Amino acid sequence: MALITKIARAAAAAALVSAAALTVTARPAAADLGPPPGCQRGHFCVSGGPDSPTGWSTAGNWTGSVYGVFLFNNGYPYPGADHVDVTYYRAQDGSGPYTRCVHYYPGPGEYYLYTPNDPVEIVRVRWRGEC
């Protein structure tokens, strides 16, 4: 019986250590989100979520069609060209177009758009000055 108790305690301790490790490596609160994995500095990036790899990015103006739920401006601070106007449609109902100005990271303004339950089709990215 003593051996079973020691094994149970060891298993419980191991579980606590694992849980603590997960807590330490957990993603920060939404207000503190950083760039998605693979989003290079100087790029506007699109991914499937904050922890999903960057699926598409651009360092310049762009027109086309790409889908995503996490849009992130990882541009450099550069007066006159560090914010991004992103034009998109809501994929669920096709409404739009909508245009939002996204500040560069980390900045005092909105530097990402996250729509986890409503993917968007991005059709245009234009670098610009202040929003």
Instruction: State pLDDT tens for residues 72-116.
Output: 999 999 999 999 999 999 999 999 999 999 999 987 789 999 999
What pLDDT, on a 0 to 100 scale, did the predictor assign at position 109? 84
Separation of alpha carbons 127 and 102, rounded Å: 9
Supply 127's token pair. 């670098």
Q: Are 123 and 94 in contact (CB under 8 A)?
A: no
Q: Are 63 and 79 in contact (CB under 8 A)?
A: no
Question: What is the total residue count of the chain?
Answer: 131
What pLDDT, on a 0 to 100 scale, did the predictor assign at position 93? 95
Listing DSSP states for 8-21 in one string gives HHHHHHHHHHHHHH
pLDDT tens-digit map of 2-47: 434 343 344 444 433 333 222 223 334 445 689 999 999 999 999 9
